[in-house]
Amino acid sequence: MPVKNRFAELHDEITAWRRDIHENPEILFETHRTSALVAEKLKEFGCDEVATGIGRTGVVGVIRGKSDSKGKVIGLRADMDALPIHEQTGLDYASKTPNAMHACGHDGHTAMLLGAARYLAENRNFDGTVVVIFQPAEEGGGGGREMCQDGLMERFGIQEVYGMHNWPGRPVGSFAIRPGAFFAATDLFDIVIEGRGGHAAKPQETIDPTVVASQVVLALQTIASRNADPIDNIVVSVTSFETSSKAFNVIPQRVTMKGTVRTMSNAVRDLAETRLTAIAEGVAASFGATAKVDYLRNYPVMVNHDEQTAFAADVARKVSGDCEVAPMVMGGEDFAFMLEERPGAYILVGNGDTAMVHHPQYNFNDEAIPAGCSWWAEIVEQRLPAA
């Protein structure tokens, strides 16, 4: 089954919603305008129930089919938040908020799920219930975790859950997915190296934390090259290195480093945390310095469930004619929390030849809207066929 004709008819209207959201980006849980817009649209579409304030600013709509012979409930999730990036696209509908931008396409995700919700509420050609989930704070805030902790799955009786993300570099409207581990666990760390500061002309009287910290940065790379099995996926990146002194002739007292660890399994995640701490403390001690390590487990590995992944791929092939096997992605995705609570799957839809996500010149491709909306709608109509 190709793209649904109804979404071709609604394309301009859905595009207008998307561009309005793009023009008014909101970060993390501060999606007040976007959440209000979503709730207003869902009520306008005739959803049977619209709930707000779930996971702080999340919105949920309930749409019941023409029948409900088996009591099945499916959840469809889109994210709503933007990034703290200053937009550089020059678009007519570019962000009006300084240092806030929809640089990951969540405006498109929200608009596509709204389009699907409108279609499903109009037709209700399914047997069961669909729950449309609009989540805040995917970009580092853990909004998916917050919604789950707020009782999302239990309150609405969700039995399966599906998510989607646009992907630059893939042909517009094409799909890709993989079973099992898909997006990485994204852990964070802070390391403070404490030495003994002094005059730069007398290094022998100091314990130079810049030298110690530099050795730590290099040694941390051995976690991937010498501790983890070579077939395992792991990235250890130090992304910030700051001294306590800004003077050219002062050896500082301390150096603070920040970074991230990306892994694809819990075993490698455990290994990385243990080795990172041991390496930082051990290297520092060998120079007479100390290291304080704070390691934060952030988003878990996002794991697609086999049965639901096969089903999602089959639906994608019906919509676009093909669905490729996606590579593992070392980026994080807090849809992982929902997939820990319920079986489901997460798919990528092509965004064409655009800047990559999280880039100040990125823009969601509106030509992907009909395919994305059709996939959402077909997930429901194929999984919950009308009695």
CATH code at position 286: 3.30.70.360
Whether 287 and 315 share a structural domain: no
Whether 109 and 148 share a structural domain: yes
DSSP 70: S
CATH of the domain at 52: 3.40.630.10
Whether 272 and 334 share a structural domain: no
Q: How many C-beta atoms lie closer than 10 Å to residue 21's C-beta?
A: 27
- Which residue's entry shows tokens 């200053």? 86
Angle at 279 between CA 277 and CA 282, to 5 degrees: 105
Whether 176 and 195 share a structural domain: no
| Cα distance between residue 58 and residue 109, in whole Å | 14
| Cα distance between residue 63 and residue 26, in whole Å | 27
Whether 29 and 135 share a structural domain: yes
Whether 178 and 310 share a structural domain: yes
Final residue before a domain boundary, out of 230, 264, 299: 299
Whether 236 and 213 share a structural domain: yes
Sign of CA dihedral 111, 364, 74, 310: positive
Whether 236 and 103 share a structural domain: no
Per-residue tens of pLDDT for the chain, all 387 residues: 477 899 999 999 999 999 999 999 999 999 999 999 999 999 999 999 999 999 999 999 999 999 999 999 999 999 999 999 999 999 999 999 999 999 999 999 999 999 999 999 999 999 999 999 999 999 999 999 999 999 999 999 999 999 999 999 999 999 999 999 999 999 999 999 999 999 999 999 999 999 999 999 999 999 999 999 999 999 999 999 999 999 999 999 999 999 999 999 999 999 999 999 999 999 999 999 999 999 999 999 999 999 999 999 999 999 999 999 999 999 999 999 999 999 999 999 999 999 999 999 999 999 999 999 999 999 999 999 998
List all residues 6 or more positions away from 124 whose beta carbon is below 8 Å from its beta carbon: 63, 64, 65, 66
Q: With contact defined as beta carbons under 8 Å apart, do 287 and 216 qualify?
A: no
Q: With contact defined as beta carbons under 8 Å apart, do 115 and 6 qualify?
A: no
Characterize the bridge pairing of strands 250-251 and 175-177. Answer: unpaired
Whether 12 and 131 share a structural domain: yes
Final residue before a domain boundary, out of 258, 284, 299: 299
Q: Which residue range forms the structural domain that includes residue 130?
A: 5-182+301-383
| Cα distance between residue 365 and residue 342, in whole Å | 30
Domain count, the chain: 2
| Cα distance between residue 252 and residue 299, in whole Å | 34
* 7-51 pLDDT, tens digit each: 999 999 999 999 999 999 999 999 999 999 999 999 999 999 999
pTM of the model: 0.95
Final residue before a domain boundary, out of 271, 299, 327: 299
Whether 280 and 322 share a structural domain: no
| Cα distance between residue 83 and residue 140, in whole Å | 10
Q: How far apart are the first and last CA of the chain?
A: 20
* 190-211 pLDDT, tens digit each: 999 999 999 999 999 999 999 9
Characterize the bridge pairing of strands 290-299 and 344-350. Answer: unpaired
Q: Which two structure tokens, joined as six digits, stand for 146?
A: 């917050």
List all residues 6 or more positions away from 355 whose beta carbon is below 8 Å from its beta carbon: 168, 361, 362, 363
User: What is the distance, to the nearest Å, from the Cα of residue 130 to the centroid of all Cα atoms in its chain?
Assistant: 22
Q: Residue 387's pLDDT is what?
A: 82
Q: Which two structure tokens, joined as six digits, stand for 79?
A: 């994210």
| Cα distance between residue 371 and residue 386, in whole Å | 22
Q: Residue 206's pLDDT is what?
A: 98
Nearest CA to 37 among 16, 53, 21?
21
SS (H, E, C) 262-290: EECCHHHHHHHHHHHHHHHHHHHHHCCCE
Element spanning 109, H or E: helix 106-123
Whether 171 and 214 share a structural domain: no
Q: Provide the strand spans (E) within 232-370.
A: 234-243, 250-251, 254-263, 290-299, 302-304, 324-325, 344-350
Whether 205 and 256 share a structural domain: yes
